Amino acid sequence: MPGETPPLPPSHALLRLEAQRVAGGRLRLFPGPTSRFGALYFSLHLERSGRLSRQPVLVGLHHSGPYPGYNWIEVAQVNEYLTFEGSGVEPGIAISAASLRRLMGLLGELIPPGGHLMLEYESPRWASTARALNL
């Protein structure tokens, strides 16, 4: 589970993700350390029926700055299947394409004009995307 980190300032853009509805639950933001380049590591877990997902829905980095190109989010990992704390042998849930689109839309709303959203494409889920980009 995510460790304890200092709270984010109330104006931090990532805080707008907290409690947003996705995949039949609500997002929970867990900020992490800052990289040596000033980007903030973060993970998003899903809370459903008072239980938190064991795996993050998404792991990424967020950076903001005074110039448009300094504002970005890099998605390093997306988990397609989640299990939940205290669920015993109950099955987890698969993250649907619609839920993934909703999540990417929420991330996109955090980036001002001129910024960018980067998504990993080296995992098996995105093999066809990697092949297309290599062409």
In a domain, 8, yes or no: no
> Total domain count for the chain?
1
Q: Is residue 47 part of a domain?
A: yes
> Sign of torsion, CA 113 115 129 53?
negative
Structural domain includes residue 25? yes
C-alpha separations of 126 from 60, 97, 108 in Å: 17, 13, 19
Q: Which tens digit of pLDDT belongs to each residue from 100-133?
A: 999 999 999 999 999 999 998 887 777 888 788 8
Give 21-67 pLDDT, tens digit per residue: 999 999 999 999 999 999 999 999 999 999 999 999 999 999 999 99
> For residue 80, what are the domain limits?
13-134
Nearest to residue 57, comparing CAs of 88, 26, 36, 91? Answer: 26
Residue 2 has pLDDT above 60, yes or no: no
Q: Is residue 57 part of a domain?
A: yes
In a domain, 1, yes or no: no
Q: What is the pLDDT of residue 126?
A: 75
Residue 61: inside a domain, yes or no? yes
Residue 81 domain-assigned (yes or no): yes
Residue 6 lies in a domain: no
